[in-house]
Structure 1
Amino acid sequence: MSTVMFWSPQAGHGKTSSHTALVTLTAALQYRLRILVCHNQAQGESIESGLMAHGTLVSTAYQESDIGIDSVRRLLSSRKLNKNNISDYTIPLLKDRLDLLPGTMIQSNQTVIDKDSDWHDILNIANEYYDLVIVDIGSGMDKVELLKYADGVVVNMSQNINHLESFFTTSKQWASIHQQPWTTVLGAYDPDSKCTISNIRRKYSLKQNIFAIENDAQFRDAWNVQTLLPFVRRNLGVAQPRKYVELFKQATMLTEHVLEQLNEGHDHKQLGEGKLHAI
């Protein structure tokens, strides 16, 4: 019913894939939603780097089945893709709650679903089946055109003052072009830096909230060994260990804000109804 895209103006600075995965898992574990998460990069990259547990098993699934965006595109081109079969080409991460649509296996300089027509049609069909579609579209100004298909955008930044200056000095113009709500989140946030959220808001006269996800070694380790889902599932909720309180507090606040923005102006079922809290 709604699509949110995660994007960064600058490559390698916004922690876009990490934030996509963290918000996706938080939403899937805390809300009664059927979610699809996908990306426009190659197989094994982007969010797959942290979400794909049991790598050998998944690799076998790739080889022996039609799972992935390439098969979805083939069905789309033959007009056979619909809301009743799109989930057949995904990997279920949480039964009836969260599906992952793997990236392309095609070796090309152009990412597989950068074609506007494909994005438009795939997202429309996916939204007929899923309550929420979350897309990691990567980084760079060449991806901006894809944002027109989002109902909400999460802009991922760092505390690099030059990048902040470049984005926020043109943000009003950018927002006027893209009418959907957008949220800024700072990755690997250092609260001891002079470039704090309050200073950024003051410098650029910003009224909207800015969120921050601090660097967390355990989260990074879970990402590296592809155990992010069990890590988040184990530690998210009312009984989370003290050392993870700040990480999941930030993740929960960002997720709630994104869902609230998507709900504004929509008459359909409220996203996020029936919060589960701990599972």
Structure 2
Amino acid sequence: MGKTIVSWSPVHGQGATTANTVSLASLFAIEYKLRTLLTHTQLSYSSMEYLLGKNMVDEKFEQTGIKALERLMKSRLLKSEAVEDYTETIYRNRLDMLGGTSNGNNKDLLNAVIDVTSDVYDSVWIDAHSGQANEFTTDLLERADFILINLPQNQYILEDFFADQAFFKQIKNKPHAFLISQYDKEANVHIKKIKRKYHLDAPVYPVPYCKDFKNACNSQQVSQFFIRHYSLEKASSAFEFINALMEVNACIAKQFGLSLSIKEEDDQ
């Protein structure tokens, strides 16, 4: 049974949730010898498709993704072996993408999709709709095997979020980590301060700004970016960014008891 990683942010448009999810899942698929699926619960078309160069027009969208699986579910034909037929290949035999659904609040549909996809894939990464957790998001977080909470390096937003004790009661027994997006190590709201001020036991990881990655996003070449930049020298402008993502993935892999990454195997 595959593991489900849910990536979520309490604020819209500031946590870089989609970019982080796409980055981590892409690198995870390259790093580990596992079959990985990437999907989202946004509206019918999200920036995930754009970043990966999958500009699906409405007609194609109806034939692929969760929308197509919804028709199978209603017809009682939703089986694990059918899932791959409705995905877009990103890295052959490593990473597939399942487009989202315009009916993003259909809890039964998403639960059914998670059930069948986790039978096919070793890891399923879900980019959850940002914003304060509603019943749908709450259910998704409860089902997750690992939760990534995406936050900006913004003191006001951090104060507001960490004051929500009800949320932390919900996830306290769930493996989780915090990602500080577009991280600037020179800013006064730094990782050590965040951990100390809010008494965090869970890992807190920086995801630094990377010019090369931003250019890849704007040119819809994110999948190519990770193939080109997987093995980097320290002098590379993308080294710090890639290394930060690898640390997050190593934490997730350890939690799931996964074997060494390809790079770690080569170093032994």
**Would the aligned equivalents of 1:39 and 1:46 in 2 still touch at CA under 8 Å?**
no
Instruction: Find the aligned partners of 1:251 and 1:149 in 2 and give their Cα distance.
Output: 24
- Residue of 198, 221, 233 corresponding to 1:227: 221
Instruction: Find the aligned partners of 1:240 and 1:128 in 2 and give their Cα distance.
Output: 39
The residue number in structure 2 matching 1:62 is 60
State how 1:1-279 maps to structure 2 within 5 Å.
1-52=2-53, 55=55, 59=57, 62=60, 66-104=63-101, 111-141=102-132, 142=134, 143-171=137-165, 173-178=166-171, 179-239=173-233, 242-261=236-255, 263=256, 270-271=257-258, 273=259, 275-277=261-263
**Counterpart amino acid of residue 262 in structure 2:** L
Task: Report the secondary structure of 1:99's partner residue.
Answer: strand
1:158-208 per-position Cα deviation (integer Å, ceiling 9, x unaligned): 11112111222335x423223321110000111111100111111112222
Instruction: Find the aligned partners of 1:170 and 1:30 in 2 and give their Cα distance.
Output: 35
Superposition deviation, residue 275 in structure 1: 2.2
Change (3 A) 1:60 1:167: closer
Superposition deviation, residue 123 in structure 1: 0.2
Greater mean deviation of Cα atoms: 78-87 or 111-120: 111-120
Instruction: Find the aligned partners of 2:31 and 2:234 in 1 and give their Cα distance.
Output: 14
**Would the aligned equivalents of 1:238 and 1:277 in 2 still touch at CA under 8 Å?**
no
**Would the aligned equivalents of 1:36 and 1:100 in 2 still touch at CA under 8 Å?**
yes
**Would the aligned equivalents of 1:2 and 1:131 in 2 still touch at CA under 8 Å?**
yes
Instruction: Find the aligned partners of 1:44 and 1:240 in 2 and give their Cα distance.
Output: 36
Task: Report the secondary structure of 2:238's partner residue.
Answer: helix
Greater mean deviation of Cα atoms: 227-236 or 111-120: 111-120
Greater mean deviation of Cα atoms: 115-124 or 127-136: 115-124
**Would the aligned equivalents of 1:183 and 1:210 in 2 still touch at CA under 8 Å?**
yes
Instruction: Find the aligned partners of 2:70 and 2:251 in 1 and give their Cα distance.
Output: 32
| Unaligned 5+ runs, structure 2 | none
Instruction: Find the aligned partners of 1:260 and 1:5 in 2 and give their Cα distance.
Output: 17
**Would the aligned equivalents of 1:17 and 1:138 in 2 still touch at CA under 8 Å?**
no
Runs of 4+ residues deviating >6 angstroms = none
Superposition deviation, residue 251 in structure 1: 0.7
The TM-score with structure 1 as length reference comes to 0.86
Change (3 A) 1:202 1:191: same
**Would the aligned equivalents of 1:119 and 1:149 in 2 still touch at CA under 8 Å?**
no
1:109-168 per-position Cα deviation (integer Å, ceiling 9, x unaligned): xx4242221121110111011100000012111333431221111000011112111222
Instruction: Find the aligned partners of 1:212 and 1:49 in 2 and give their Cα distance.
Output: 24
Number of residue equivalences:
260
| Unaligned 5+ runs, structure 1 | 105-110, 264-269
The TM-score with structure 2 as length reference comes to 0.90
Instruction: Find the aligned partners of 1:139 and 1:227 in 2 and give their Cα distance.
Output: 24
Instruction: Find the aligned partners of 1:189 and 1:202 in 2 and give their Cα distance.
Output: 17
1:6-33 per-position Cα deviation (integer Å, ceiling 9, x unaligned): 1000111110001001101110111101
Superposition deviation, residue 260 in structure 1: 2.1
Instruction: Find the aligned partners of 2:126 and 2:120 in 1 and give their Cα distance.
Output: 16
